[in-house]
Structures are given as C-alpha cells and as structure tokens.
A and B are shown apart, each in its own frame.
Chain A
Amino acid sequence: AQSVAQPEDQVNVAEGNPLTVKCTYSVSGNPYLFWYVQYPNRGLQFLLKYITGDNLVKGSYGFEAEFNKSQTSFHLKKPSALVSDSALYFCAVRDEGRDDKIIFGKGTRLHILP
C-alpha cells in the first residue's frame, strides 16, 4: 500500500536561512508527488508537483523540491526563508496506475523566526 511520511512535526528556521521540509514515500508503481501549504483557517494551497522529468521541481513562492528515487524522498526546500512562510506543509503521493487514491502526510509545521 502506498504511504507518505513527514518525519518532523515541526521545523524552526531563522529568517533568511535555507529551509528543508522532509518527505519520504512508498508506492509500488511510479509516484506522483505533491506539496501543499495551509495557512491558518484556510484550505490547502498547491505549491508544486513531480510527475516526470527533471528531479528538481520549482513551484510557487520560491519553493522547490527534489525528487530522489533511490531514497524515495521528495524534500521541500527554499534558499532563504521568510516569516510569511510560517505555515503547515503537507506532502502527498499518488501511485500511478493503482487505486489512485491520494495519500497525505501528517503535515510539518514550519516556524520562521524573525
């Protein structure tokens, strides 16, 4: 069965420093991977996705993610964090060709410290 793990419940980063939010996945077929962000009292917003092609995917608000097939990871990164990046981040995976349900991680709360 497919699964996704976000090993850190919370990540603290100083403003201006690079940030990484980790995600690992398990699927039996080819993975389709997504990152979403949730601001307080809002629904989730799509950030970026990996379907195929380049392992480095660029998305909204300066975020990018690197697909690593051998490590089954899809970590979210940003070179320089902003206080406004503070939010809840979700990684999600779909298994191409299987039952095609989308599975979300439990989320990582990112705190950017001024």
Chain B
Amino acid sequence: KAGVTQTPRYLIKTRGQQVTLSCSPISGHRSVSWYQQTPGQGLQFLFEYFSETQRNKGNFPGRFSGRQFSNSRSEMNVSTLELGDSALYLCASSPDTGSPYEQYFGPGTRLTVT
C-alpha cells in the first residue's frame, strides 16, 4: 500500500499570503489529522477529520482551517500568513477514528514564511 502523501513538500510564502496544503491518506483510511511541528513547541495538534466532518480541533486561531473530501483526501488552509507559521506541517491517517488506532504520518510540508 502506498503511504500518506503530502504536497507540496516545500513552500515559501510571504507574510499576509494564504496557503493550501494537501494530504492523501493511505487507501481505506478515513481519519486524517494535521499537526504543526516546530523546534520550540514540538508537535501540536491542529485538527482531525473523519468522514468529511471535523471531529476535533486544537488550539489554533481561525486562520487555520481544513476540510476533507469524500475520497478522504484532506486540505488545510492558512490565511494571512505570519512569520510564526513557519513550520513542518504533518498529516497523519488512521483506519478509523478513536483512541486505539495508531497514526501513519506523511513526510510533511515544510512551510517558510518570509
């Protein structure tokens, strides 16, 4: 099975712009979660989608949004970019939602905001 894929892998944007990141989960996986990874804050949960519905949300401002499509592919959008949004954004999928399931991570999208 193909793993989780994320596009693009690298992105450079300027402050004030917006960006859309894409994630394709493992075939058959219906849950997709997004994380922000920075050296200072570690791995922080953004949101989780399951069957096109946002199931959980982390403590991020409304500039961060996401959605999931009927084929389980997911996108996240960040509007009005700030320098502090520079990070590695990781997508993870799991077969189902709920506690016992481990997650399978993509390689990430490295976003640099200048």
Contact = CB atoms under 8 A, between A and B. Distances in A.
A32 B90 contact: no
B106 interface: yes
Contacts of A97: 99
Interface in B69-101: 90, 92, 97-100
A107 B42 contact: yes
Interface residues of A, number: 25
B43 A107 contact: yes
Contacts, number: 57
A96 to B, nearest CB: 5
Contact of B45 (A32, A43, A44, A103): A103
A43 B56 contact: no
Nearest to A107: B42
A6 to B, nearest CB: 9
B102 A42 contact: no
Given A94-B99, A100-B98, A101-B56, A46 B33 contact: no
Which of B33, B55, B97, B103 has the most CB atoms of chain A within a 10 A radius of its CB? B103
Would you list the 4 A-B pairs with minimal beta carbon distance, nearest first?
Answer: A43-B105, A106-B42, A104-B43, A44-B105
